[in-house]
Structure 1
């Protein structure tokens, strides 16, 4: 029997930790931790607009790779990595700052911020974005509708009127727009705000001047330094911000054309702001009636005289309608001056915006096509024109019926006294 050779015991080697192959720059790294779990990290966009290294974990390299691919894809689309944990409050901050702010007019942005802060966040701000339901939206709208307005300081809260249906409709519109963006960014599968119908506001009653009232007002304020502003408002229906933002470079008195390219608004917290008109269709080119051209020529002469009188105090802004020293006209000051001129003229009081309504109703009553009126006013859709000025339509329909009678009626036969 041969000798038995004892072999030394060899401890089994620890399994070598698996490592993934080297990944390209920007794809993130993947490695296995000591506890056996897999981890990875990549630099991705965050809600504040900066990039930071974000870790992900999984039970396999393939699972981590899929997670890295997903967060990188979101980052490349401009979607912050922390979006998956957003509440309505946090997403609204992101939406206002990165989506609404770059494309909205300053005054509209201030209004959106106010609606979100006052009505949306208090009602549903803590709800997770992905967990929001139509019932939550209805609750939010009900709370908004029951909110009292600020009212007078000495007025008891229970006697203050509730917010208007128009405000509730705007709250719903802001939430709907915000959730639509979340759907486009694939954070939500559907927009639950679209499943809830907001209350329809009552149609605003407008009280424009009749032709005689408009003529009487212009005659009474002919000597006022801003007479031309009121002529333009009544003849072309420009909004207050469009009038105050009008520049001489936007007016061609020889060709009789006027370009509406910018507006002037006073924005709370930002002061006076120049911005684009209300909508894309509000950017428009208008043909000026002779009465407007003549009024602007007189106004240009008056402004040139004021420039000389102001001497070194004149501030050149290029604006058509200014103060006596060339500075912009404050919107509220214009409203105040308009009220005083109405009292001096002895005509029926109206709001400044009703000058725009007066222009529209005078045009429609004169038989101008609603489509042309829409273009002059800069409405986005003809339905807006028809809804606001539907009260003028019956008179136009009666006139149209008369035209049809004249065109199609058979001539009456002369009665010769004979039998039928």
Structure 2
């Protein structure tokens, strides 16, 4: 027995009666053609078609999808994007809370207002492309006023939800292939040894308008030097415990980080969920010693004058920015995160290879390290060619 066939309802009593009722009421008669088929579970299903041609096209489509295993139950496909987005987000137990809430915000502010009520089959690639373009438009022009990076993030969340619906509810992801806005290259800011020292000294000498040391003046110098020479992320340094610092071996174990969700500080695994060990230069030993000597291993290395944990925004605005100004560093775009880039640039200049740098910075793989810092590695093409030339000459002369 064929799995898909077309049934003409014209000569059935039920259809003729329905057609007469429709004619009396001045309505269009019901669809004459019915496509009958057994789905993958062996259940008899049917769909109506207005014309013979449409019925034949649907039969061909069903035969192909049932044969290839790509058949999707129309009932399953007709669910809204909003319903699937909520299920998708609920299933993402693998995400850090900060990432989960970031996705929550992108869904609520940009994805669901446009796509939430639409059934999955109604979402088309060209409409997604228009939506991405509108995200970039200014609010005065009816857009969302997002930059290229945020627009890409919003698109990525939509694409992940749609990916999650393939193949059970969608045959393909309509978001794939949409051209995305070009993300401008990040501004590279790398401090020299002298600039790092100026910044650290200025940060350690900060005073309030009442001529008292600022809340973090006592730890600022050590913190800035640590960030600039080890490549720790700011949250990793802020969450560093005394017991994780071994000054005898000059090692720091990076096992946790601070992050904030809705203004509340949390502690979790470092980015990528990977712990690591980093080395510290010898000159940092006497700088860090006063901050860890005779202290409980569970205490934070860096705290405010009142013993509170550091908060990223407060420290950046009140301490770091003030230190940049006091040090008279004329470097546009200088942020605490640029100290991590500085650590990478100084390490490369000191001869660190890409694998060492990857381990130092805690990147997922060396490819990520090269993507970010590849331009800093020296061009050694001539050096390699010269060695090959020398080795060839020695080999042929032997």
Task: Indicate whether the TM-score tops 0.5.
Answer: yes
Partner residue, 1:278? 271
- Work out which of the residue numbers 203, 217, 220 in structure 1 matches 2:199: 217
- Work out which of the residue numbers 327, 331, 336 in structure 2 matches 1:352: 336
Partner residue, 1:88? 81
**Contact in 2 for aligned 1:317/1:327 (Cα 8 Å):** no
**Closer/same/farther in 2, CA of residues 119 and 365 from structure 1, 3 Å limit:** same
Q: Could you tell me how far apart the structure 1 residues matched to 2:247 and 2:200 are?
A: 21
Q: Tell me the secondary structure at the aligned position of residue 327 of structure 1.
A: coil
Is 2:155 the counterpart of 1:189? no
Question: What TM-score does the superposition give when structure 2 sets the normalisation length?
Answer: 0.68
Deviation at 1:360, TM superposition (A): 0.8
- Work out which of the residue numbers 211, 224, 246 in structure 2 matches 1:252: 246
**Contact in 2 for aligned 1:124/1:140 (Cα 8 Å):** no
Deviation at 1:391, TM superposition (A): 3.5
**Closer/same/farther in 2, CA of residues 407 and 213 from structure 1, 3 Å limit:** farther
Q: Could you tell me how far apart the structure 1 residues matched to 2:374 and 2:41 are?
A: 62
Question: What TM-score does the superposition give when structure 1 sets the normalisation length?
Answer: 0.65
Is 2:331 the counterpart of 1:338? no
Partner residue, 1:173? 156
- Work out which of the residue numbers 282, 292, 301 in structure 2 matches 1:290: 282
Deviation at 1:346, TM superposition (A): 3.0
Is 2:373 the counterpart of 1:373? no
Deviations 1:393-413 (A, max 9, x none): 3xx115x63576478559xxx
Partner residue, 1:300? 292
Deviations 1:355-409 (A, max 9, x none): 011111111122211221122111223333223224323xx115x6357647855
**Contact in 2 for aligned 1:123/1:139 (Cα 8 Å):** no
Deviates more, 1:329-338 or 1:345-354: 345-354
Q: Could you tell me how far apart the structure 2 residues matched to 1:83 and 1:253 are?
A: 60
Partner residue, 1:14? none
Q: Could you tell me how far apart the structure 2 residues matched to 1:146 and 1:346 are?
A: 37
Name stretches of at least 5 consecutive residues in structure 2 with no aligned partner.
1-39, 45-74, 206-216, 392-398
Partner residue, 1:263? 257
Name stretches of at least 5 consecutive residues in structure 1 with no aligned partner.
1-62, 68-81, 149-156, 308-315, 411-420
Deviations 1:122-170 (A, max 9, x none): 222222124422223212212212254xxxxxxxx46999321111211
CA RMSD of aligned residues (A): 3.3
**Contact in 2 for aligned 1:280/1:380 (Cα 8 Å):** no
Deviates more, 1:171-180 or 1:213-222: 213-222
Q: Could you tell me how far apart the structure 2 residues matched to 1:250 and 1:188 are?
A: 49
